[in-house]
Copies of this chain bind each other. A is one copy, B any other.
Amino acid sequence: MSYAPQPSSDTHDLEQAKTWLRTYQRVRAATEAICAPLHKEDYMVQSMADVSPPKWHIAHVSWFFEAFILKPFQPGYQTLDPAYDHLFNSYYETHGVPFPRAERGAISRPTVDDVYRYRAHVDQAMQALLKNPPQEHLPEILRRLELGLPHEQQHQELLLMDIKHILAQNPLCPAYRVDLAPGLAPTPAREVPPLGWLAYPAGIREIGHDASEGGFAYDNEMGRHRQFVEAFQMADRPVTNGEFLAFMQDDGYATPEHWLADGWATVKAEGWRAPLYWVERDGVWHHYTLGGLVPVDLSAPVCHVSFFEADAYAQWADARLPTEAEWETVAQDVPLTGNFVDQDHLQPIAAAKADGMPGQMFGDVWEWTGSAYRPYPGFRKLPGSLGEYNGKFMSGQMVLRGGCCATPADHIRATYRNFFPPEARWAFSGFRLARDGGA
């Protein structure tokens, strides 16, 4: 199920490097496929500070391989332009001065063609390196490659999030891909099953990545550790658009007692009255999708809601969000399948018939948990600049779990910890309810 063979520190042979090269090529090609429908103009837009122009993504993921693999380990490597090291450094303060995030949209040069040339330049050098790797550095090269590829996959999802946000600003509501539209119309016949609850007893649980079992994981998922989890119940599927609409119709966005104080302040400051991308047309709620503007499918999981909205809904529903330990307790026994980017639907899909099992734990929507994003016991960040990858963001953010319809299937796992600030809505983020107590 993992996207590549695992490097082991004692196998340095060429075969392994070649296998990694094929994976590298596959991941890189997937990024380019996502951008294929874009016009050059689309590549340039930064619709808010959190969004990066697609052109920047394309360059930054290449820079990552250049800065952390090619420059240290490929003798004689020549960069295409020394200025790129500044322009395409995202946030690595220990690597140099990153170009200001909010101004990424102001840089028209290098052009899209230039950036693809840079991409090809890096690919060529990576191919040369992996075909003929310096033996003494191969383990470190592969360790960094093993990080660089999921890094690029994360940017694949970010690209889809950002492209959606970029095109949604446009009053013309242009589709990213018109071919998606037919599949996104609501199917009125399909009815979502009633919400079921699955009970779990109290006990010591183990969560986090078990390094001894192999497989890649980020530093923030390490290491496997014990948590005491009280008895709880977990919903067998995420909350749907139809259910969320009932909250809206019950004045959910106008009733302060459902909301966290910061959430309520955000509702008032931003004028929220529906999830992001929702718009009422002639009395019918539509939402902008990557296939354009379509009526909301009431059976599908609600998406593009913030933690604040998820929490308020849970308060209203007399429930709560699961902790990440509860979520992982449930997820570790569930097969790792779902509606991922590989399905090419790019929008959450209504749950199948209930079968007494937790449904849609993976794919469809990232699920907000009630857990703040903080380090696990014994957390150690990666050495050097790569230590900035995850650890420094462990403040002010909430954990989401399970991946979504824009996540590559081979990128996700039960221990995976995604995180966003509680007000963020441009990820494909939904939620699932939990409640206290046993069966």
CA gap between A436 and B222 in the complex, in Å: 14
Q: A380's closest neighbor in chain B, by CB?
A: B436
Give every chain B residue within 8 A of A288 (Cβ-Cβ).
none
Closest approach, in angstroms, between the C-beta of A96 and any C-beta of chain B? 11
Stretch of A11-19, A86-94, A296-304, A349-357 on the interface side: A86-94
User: A124 interface residue, CB < 8 Å from B?
Assistant: no
| Cross-chain contact of A204 among B108, B109, B228, B377 (Cβ < 8 A) | B228
Q: In the complex where A107-B170, A169-B106, A256-B94 touch, is A372 in contact with B374 (Cβ < 8 A)?
A: yes
**Which residue, A42, A45, A87, A436, has most C-beta atoms of chain B within 10 A?**
A45
CA gap between A167 and B99 in the complex, in Å: 16
| Cross-chain contact of A106 among B99, B166, B307, B372 (Cβ < 8 A) | B166
Stretch of A63-71, A257-265, A329-337 on the interface side: A257-265
- Counting contact residues on chain A (CB < 8 A from B), the size range is 35 or more
CA gap between A109 and B163 in the complex, in Å: 13
Q: What's the number of copies of this chain in the assembled complex?
A: 4
Are B93 and A264 touching (Cβ within 8 A)?
yes
User: A111 interface residue, CB < 8 Å from B?
Assistant: yes
Are B93 and A47 touching (Cβ within 8 A)?
no
Are B261 and A393 touching (Cβ within 8 A)?
yes
Are A108 and B39 touching (Cβ within 8 A)?
yes
| Cross-chain contact of A395 among B41, B42, B260 (Cβ < 8 A) | B260
Give every chain B residue within 8 A of A359 (Cβ-Cβ).
none
| Cross-chain contact of A392 among B45, B170, B259 (Cβ < 8 A) | B259
Closest 3 CB pairs of A and B: A372-B372, A93-B256, A44-B44
Interface on A for B, CB 8 Å cutoff? 39-47, 55, 81, 83, 86-87, 91, 93-94, 99, 103, 105-112, 166-167, 169-172, 174, 202, 204, 225-228, 230, 256-257, 259-264, 307-308, 311, 320, 370-372, 374-375, 377-378, 387-388, 392-396, 422, 436
